[in-house]
């Protein structure tokens, strides 16, 4: 049974180009999120800043790691 399939030269080119575009778009998104966080007063680089992500509906920045003292329960 084969575990690998060789891509054609055109397929390699397409995958490489898409990977470069994806990395560029991801970097732009990360930069935009940092700018938005700064406007909202969130220190994403500080040790207490925590991990954040954009919500599914793109309306909120959601904190992923909520400190123990601030969890509702």
Both tokens of residue 46? 């500080």
**What average pLDDT does range 53-73 have in this prediction?**
76
pTM over 0.95: no
For every residue of 35-67, DSSP letters joined together read: HHHHHTT--SSSTTT--EEE-TTSS-EEESS--
**Spacing of C-alpha 12 from chain mean position:** 25
Hey, is 1 helix, strand or coil? coil
Ranges of each domain in the chain: 9-70
Residue 27: per-residue pLDDT: 93
Q: What's the rounded Cα separation, in Å, for the pair 30 and 36?
A: 10
15-60: pLDDT as tens digits: 999 999 999 999 998 899 889 888 988 887 777 777 888 888 988 8
- Is the per-residue pLDDT at 72 higher than 70? no
Provide the pLDDT confidence category of residue 64 given band limits of 50, 70 and 90: confident
């Amino acid at each position: 049974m084969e575990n690998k399939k060789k891509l054609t030269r055109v397929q390699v080119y397409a995958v490489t180009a898409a990977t470069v575009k994806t990395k560029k778009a991801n970097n732009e998104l990360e930069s935009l999120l940092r700018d938005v966080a700064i406007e909202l007063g969130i220190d994403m680089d500080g040790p207490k800043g925590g991990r954040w992500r954009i919500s599914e509906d793109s309306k909120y920045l959601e904190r992923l790691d909520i400190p123990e003292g601030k969890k509702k329960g």
